[in-house]
Structure 1
Amino acid sequence: MNRPIRTVSIFCLFLFLALMVNVTYLQFWHADELNEDPLNARVAEAAFSRERGDILVGEGRDQLAIARSREYDDRYKYLRVYPKPLMYANITGYLTLGSQTGIEASQNAVLSGEDDRLFVTRLIDLAQNQSNKGGNVLLTLDPAAQQAAYDALLQTVGPEGEGSVVAIEPKTGRILAMVSLPSYDPNELTTHDFNAFQRNYDRLDADDKEPLVNRAIQTRLFPGSTFKVVTAAAAIEEGLYSADDDVPSGATWQTPGTTGENNVIDNEGRFLCNPEEVSFGTAMAQSCNTAFAKMAVELGPEKMREQAEAFGFNSDYLLDLTPQVQSIYPSGEDGEDLNDAQTAQTGFGQFEVQATPLQMAMVVAALGNRGTLMRPYLVDEVQSAEYETLERTDPDEIRDAVSPTTADQVTDLMVETVDNGTASPAQIPGVTVAGKTGTAQRGVPGEPPYGWFVSFAPAEDAEVAVAVMIQEAPGKEIAGGQLGGPIAKAVMEAVLDD
């Protein structure tokens, strides 16, 4: 063989080997990733060409499909529809030709029928020469609680407002309600017309109100005075005080190591906080900033951080809905501990303490569960296309955030706050309610505060824990008790009346 022919032969051999390596890589090592990529046109077409499973809420005959597939007369055969779009959009997300979000994304394998738990169903469909149907996903949401949360929040903040409500079953971690406003209509994004989808998505994405953001798990703000329940739990757990003790307070307090009026902590006119010592019950019921600032400094930043993290701060715990942001109890610069002035501010939920509504619901749910923190979850059951239960989520105990004794004492303080303090708007006739208000300063002069409210009921054997966050309420003066209390009450009543 002459040299030119040999050179061409060797070159062709290398081309053949490169082709074989590429095919092997694509067919074996990279196949799963390509199949799961929503931008893969073949995958997208397959997803829309078969009947996808339902996303369900409710129990028994009262089950409601909040996402389902409808036959459609075009190349894709099926269109995803959302019967109650605004109320559930932040949870269901949406399914479109190029992307998935919310439960549509996290439970895609089940809904599309590709999950291993649906293997027998796929075999039966194949034997009967039928197209593969997706499985159903039953969520933990209580439709009555979700409706109450949505209606009450919308009535409070208005169509231009921003806020969120989360309700949890303390003993299990089941999420009973999760509302985020403003919302959006996912039906506008599930069109088979990609250009129409892009126009609608760009409009929503450019909206200053950020309707695509699930504020329950993606927005973290200063929790303000609702964080005082964490400070109180830390103080009681460490043995510094009991619920029956008097605690240091005072009308004002210059934070240690500082000068100037900007570093003076006051109680915003709540004169019952003015004595140098007040009862622990008064400090909580009247929301005395000076008392909890001094308490935090006495505990120190390490103990404060440990208690916050025991309740879930600085970690992720919700596994079946993403993305989410972590709630934060801060460290100092370069990993050093906070100084006394910074620690004092964290005692009442300011400085750099940041929390999501889900996190604050987890805090009060743990207190209502006598100190035990349960993992929050949204997916209750995975079902076949015929609604047969294939797998049910078992409650998962994360840890004891505080002892039962500490939880009982903090509960007593929160009951006092509802009965005789700032959280009175959450009172329910015949039911003992534990609650705490929060009105958190934004740190921007002239800007209105954030409103918070956390509660659980019945206080002696909690069935529901609620966190309300009000970010914007145009035309209204934001106060956690006056605005958030009635919302929490409505949600608690919806659960207790079921």
Structure 2
Amino acid sequence: MNAPLRRVGVVVMVLFGLLFANLNWIQAYKADEYRTSDYNGRVQVADYKRKRGNIEAGGTALATSKETTGKLKFQRTYPGGPKYAHVLGFKPVNLGETGIEDVEDDFLAGTSDQLIGDRLKDMFTGDDTGGGNVLLTLSKKAQDVAYDQLRNNEVGAKRGAAIAIDPRTGAVQALVSMPSFDPNPLASHDTNEATAAYNKLEKDPAEPLKNRALAETLPPGSTFKIVVAAAALENGITKTTPIPAGSSWTAPTSGTPIRNADPSICPGRQVTLLEAVTESCNTGFAQLGVRLGAETLKEKALQFGFEQEDLTVGHLGEGGLPTAASRTGDIQNPDGSTDQAALAQSSIGQNNVRMTPLEGAMIAGAIANNGSQMRPYLVRQWLAPDRTTSYYTAKGRELRQPVGPQVAADLREMMVSVVRNGTGKKAAISGYTVGGKTGTAQSAPDRPDHGWFIGFALDKNLNPVSAVCVMLEQAGPGGSGEAARIAGQIMKAAITDPGGR
């Protein structure tokens, strides 16, 4: 009898030991997670007890909080609806925050270390001072134009993106992804309604929740020729150097000829580099890329920002909206040697080359800014709840210098020629010097081509005022021309309303 009792006693002691260990583990390691969980009702009530700060641009509140009569005191609202959705994100009750609502959550909620003085004051007054206010760099006019023009594009594209930046500072002037979504239902205090709205968006095959301006990577087509041209200029080729061209060219080891978009484009045996950029000569750039070599092209793309995996867009310190890395892709045979056919295709922005719209705008911005590429950012300023104190003001910071001033000047001249004399005429703005490069990229044999445009605008003193990239996914014929037209409209709006710098 004693033996069975001893065994039971041992089992009970082991169970109590496990329970004790689990409780200590929860207190030591899991307490913060449970305490701050979005599913903790007490946390939710506390979170919504203090009025969340505004997110603003150009003096307009893009995200604000209104008082309610429910258990949760304040309701988050987004007056602009879908227009700013991919920048702002949303602040839900039971789901995780996204966008600026996420990356600036502590300051907006009033829990940031920066706002400890306000919280200490509340301890003595009994008040619940609201959260801090986050001011963005966006130009309201440029954002309006980008959103409206993408939605009403003239080629019927259903997906795309546009982003504009100030080349001198990196301040984002416009950021739109199409299709968009209304963040208001996602912030509903009716958690069933919010969850249903989120699930519907998540299951939508058009992926409206995806921020295509920062996270979509597609073949950039002829816009990548600017990177190739930069490499050429740094390797003994000038604007006026003749390069081989022709109506058709087949790379070594390839049985598939590369042709130009139209027989009238550079049909002669040679063209200058300036003419090749202006006319978007595929045969010229394919041969030029093979001449320069895979490593030279990959290195130049790297210097422009390809392959960067840690870039964020938000605050100039740590954190921000995540971005996808642009890639030059594989240009090798199985034995490690260069695949000449793949290199020829890569040189015209095909093969495995992939680029985000953000990267396209950064390339154009660096060329406009004398070769200096600035780090892109969205958050201009942090203001105290009472708006009397600024806790942070952005100051533009150089990210890298992919080309020197002379190469940048040559590239500007070639890109201006594209808009004045070539495929980018629809981007022209009266009274301003506009440069750019169109791109048409194959999507798949049974799908329409993507349309791209990257470009910049300079004022009468040739100072850069805006750089832009517009991408129309599966836009088909005329897609790159329509992207150029939209880009011109966005830059024109940014000229009249540059946003915060």
TM-score, length-scaled by structure 2: 0.91
* Distance in 2 between residues matched to 1:276 and 1:461, nearest whole Å: 37
1:450 paired residue number: 450
Give the counterpart letter for 1:55 in structure 2.
I
1:240 paired residue number: 236
Structure 1 contact 450–478 (Cα < 8 Å) conserved: no
Return the match for 1:281 from 274, 297, 301: 274
Structure 2 contact 313–322 (Cα < 8 Å) conserved: no
Deviations 1:284-328 (A, max 9, x none): 111000111111111111111111111111113224343432111
Q: 1:290 to 1:160 in 2, by over 3 A?
A: closer
1:264 paired residue number: 257
* Distance in 2 between residues matched to 1:22 and 1:115, nearest whole Å: 31
Counterparts of residues 66-105 of structure 1 (less than 5 Å): 66-99=62-95, 100-105=97-102
Structure 1 contact 382–392 (Cα < 8 Å) conserved: yes
Following superposition, the deviation at residue 9 of structure 1 comes to: 8.2
Counterparts of residues 190-229 of structure 1 (less than 5 Å): 190-229=187-226
* Distance in 2 between residues matched to 1:89 and 1:434, nearest whole Å: 30
Following superposition, the deviation at residue 439 of structure 1 comes to: 1.0
SS, match of residue 493 in structure 1: helix
* Distance in 1 between residues matched to 2:226 and 2:196, nearest whole Å: 45
1:177 paired residue number: 174
1:467 paired residue number: 469
Structure 2 contact 155–478 (Cα < 8 Å) conserved: no
Structure 2 contact 232–292 (Cα < 8 Å) conserved: yes
SS, match of residue 464 in structure 2: coil
Which range moves more in the overlay, 417-426 or 375-384? Answer: 375-384
Structure 1 contact 97–192 (Cα < 8 Å) conserved: yes
SS, match of residue 391 in structure 1: strand
Q: C-alpha root-mean-square deviation of aligned residues, in Å?
A: 2.4
Structure 2 contact 371–404 (Cα < 8 Å) conserved: yes
* Distance in 2 between residues matched to 1:211 and 1:37, nearest whole Å: 27
* Distance in 2 between residues matched to 1:223 and 1:486, nearest whole Å: 17
1:251 matched to 2:247: yes
Return the match for 1:110 from 99, 107, 111: 107
* Distance in 2 between residues matched to 1:465 and 1:254, nearest whole Å: 35
Give the counterpart letter for 2:367 in structure 1.
L
Structure 1 contact 111–135 (Cα < 8 Å) conserved: yes
* Distance in 2 between residues matched to 1:91 and 1:337, nearest whole Å: 43
Q: 1:199 to 1:157 in 2, by over 3 A?
A: farther
Counterparts of residues 17-416 of structure 1 (less than 5 Å): 21-58=21-58, 63-99=59-95, 100-156=97-153, 161-237=158-234, 239-259=235-255, 263-316=256-309, 317-320=311-314, 321-332=320-331, 336=336, 338-387=338-387, 388-416=389-417
* Distance in 1 between residues matched to 2:422 and 2:261, nearest whole Å: 15
Following superposition, the deviation at residue 42 of structure 1 comes to: 3.6
Structure 2 contact 142–493 (Cα < 8 Å) conserved: yes
Structure 1 contact 157–472 (Cα < 8 Å) conserved: no
* Distance in 2 between residues matched to 1:294 and 1:397, nearest whole Å: 33
* Distance in 1 between residues matched to 2:393 and 2:32, nearest whole Å: 26
Following superposition, the deviation at residue 19 of structure 1 comes to: 5.3
* Distance in 1 between residues matched to 2:301 and 2:477, nearest whole Å: 30
Deviations 1:50-79 (A, max 9, x none): 211111111xxxx11111111111111111
Give the counterpart letter for 1:45 in structure 2.
V
**Count, aligned residues:** 485
* Distance in 1 between residues matched to 2:5 and 2:324, nearest whole Å: 63
* Distance in 2 between residues matched to 1:9 and 1:132, nearest whole Å: 56
* Distance in 1 between residues matched to 2:328 and 2:128, nearest whole Å: 51
- Unaligned stretches of 5+ in structure 1? none
Deviations 1:105-125 (A, max 9, x none): 111111111111111111112
* Distance in 2 between residues matched to 1:25 and 1:139, nearest whole Å: 42
Give the counterpart letter for 1:94 in structure 2.
F
* Distance in 2 between residues matched to 1:449 and 1:107, nearest whole Å: 38
* Distance in 2 between residues matched to 1:96 and 1:125, nearest whole Å: 26
Give the counterpart letter for 2:163 in structure 1.
V
Deviations 1:180-226 (A, max 9, x none): 11111111111111111122122222222221111101211110011
SS, match of residue 152 in structure 2: helix
Following superposition, the deviation at residue 354 of structure 1 comes to: 0.7
Structure 2 contact 201–209 (Cα < 8 Å) conserved: yes
Which range moves more in the overlay, 81-90 or 247-256? Answer: 247-256
* Distance in 1 between residues matched to 2:145 and 2:330, nearest whole Å: 38
1:496 paired residue number: 495
Following superposition, the deviation at residue 22 of structure 1 comes to: 4.2
Q: 1:465 to 1:25 in 2, by over 3 A?
A: same
Following superposition, the deviation at residue 45 of structure 1 comes to: 3.5
Following superposition, the deviation at residue 8 of structure 1 comes to: 8.2
* Distance in 2 between residues matched to 1:293 and 1:182, nearest whole Å: 34
Q: 1:138 to 1:336 in 2, by over 3 A?
A: farther
Q: 1:319 to 1:166 in 2, by over 3 A?
A: closer
Structure 2 contact 92–188 (Cα < 8 Å) conserved: yes
Deviations 1:115-150 (A, max 9, x none): 111111111122210124211111111111111211
Give the counterpart letter for 1:193 in structure 2.
D
Structure 2 contact 227–301 (Cα < 8 Å) conserved: yes
Structure 1 contact 222–350 (Cα < 8 Å) conserved: yes
Structure 2 contact 223–452 (Cα < 8 Å) conserved: yes
Following superposition, the deviation at residue 33 of structure 1 comes to: 3.9
* Distance in 1 between residues matched to 2:49 and 2:42, nearest whole Å: 10
Deviations 1:253-299 (A, max 9, x none): 0121112xxx1101121524111111211111110001111111111
* Distance in 2 between residues matched to 1:413 and 1:280, nearest whole Å: 9
TM-score, length-scaled by structure 1: 0.91
SS, match of residue 395 in structure 2: coil
Give the counterpart letter for 2:248 in structure 1.
T
* Distance in 1 between residues matched to 2:43 and 2:155, nearest whole Å: 40
Following superposition, the deviation at residue 410 of structure 1 comes to: 0.7
Deviations 1:230-272 (A, max 9, x none): 11111112x231122222211110121112xxx1101121524
SS, match of residue 97 in structure 1: coil
* Distance in 1 between residues matched to 2:44 and 2:182, nearest whole Å: 21
* Distance in 2 between residues matched to 1:380 and 1:70, nearest whole Å: 24
